[in-house]
Structure 1
Amino acid sequence: MTIELGPEVQALVDAANRNDLSAFLAGFTEDGVVDDWGREFRGAAQIRAWSDAEFIGKQVSLAVQDVEQRGDETVITAEVGGNGFNGPSHFSFQVRGDRVARMTIRA
């Protein structure tokens, strides 16, 4: 099965899988938000601090299992690996222009 993501979402997934924090941050709009189970991190400085502690800093890996388009949101189901949370999770992405404006993580 081929799973295709829009280039903006694919760039974030690829950056996460390379553990490339700079590329990950560059994939967000200036006012981008990560919503991790209701905890919101806005802008590069807050997203960096969150990622250092819980995402790329934990050598995250995302094995995309499924992709759905729900209106203006792309929702992926991924098997998360690394040295932090491990297991299935859902990530939804809202894109603005050529970057992600919001990434929401849920079970």
Structure 2
Amino acid sequence: MTEQRIPEPVAGFIEAVNRHDEAAFLDAFAEGGAVDDWGRVFTGREQIKGWSDNEFIGASGTLAAEEVEVSGSTVTVIGDWRSTHANGRSTFIFDVDGDRLARMTIREG
């Protein structure tokens, strides 16, 4: 995996997550955006918020990026995830749509 600077909007998204800014986290997603958390898919602002309240922002999550790869409109970040819900090296795959995230997929790092 190639290491490089994290492009926007992913960099801003990670900053929002690390400061536990729920509004900025939710606003990062395009209308109809989705989160795929190990095969569980949450689509749209309300479903993403419900998931995040328990497992992401609500769990005081932080991501320390270690590796980044950019391929077209897909940005893959591998890093150390820490929260009150789950911990460990994880892979975050972001499908970018303009200045928003169309999808974030989380899987084992």
Interval containing the TM-score (normalised by the shorter chain)? over 0.9
Question: What is the percentage of aligned positions where both structures have the same residue?
Answer: 45
Equivalent AA in structure 1 for residue 39 of structure 2:
G
Which residue of the partner structure matches residue 99 of structure 1? Answer: 100
Per-residue deviation at 1:84? 1.3
Equivalent AA in structure 2 for residue 64 of structure 1:
A
Unaligned 5+ runs, structure 2: none
Contact 2:18 2:62 in 1 (8 A): yes
Could you give the per-residue CA deviations for residues 7-58 of structure 1, whole angstroms, max 9, x where no partner exists?
1101110111001110000000011000000110001000000000100100
The CA RMSD over aligned residues, in Å, is 1.2
Contact 2:42 2:48 in 1 (8 A): yes
Per the normalisation by structure 2, the TM-score is 0.92
Per-residue deviation at 1:69? 1.6
Could you give the per-residue CA deviations for residues 59-78 of structure 1, whole angstroms, max 9, x where no partner exists?
00100000012343110001
Equivalent AA in structure 2 for residue 72 of structure 1:
S
Which residue of the partner structure matches residue 86 of structure 1? Answer: 87
How many correspondences in the alignment? 106
CA–CA distance in structure 2, aligned partners of residues 57 and 90 of structure 1: 20
Which residue of the partner structure matches residue 24 of structure 1? Answer: 25
Per-residue deviation at 1:3? 4.5
- Structure richer in helix, relative to its length: 1
Per the normalisation by structure 1, the TM-score is 0.94
Q: Which runs of 4+ in 1 moved over 4 A?
A: none
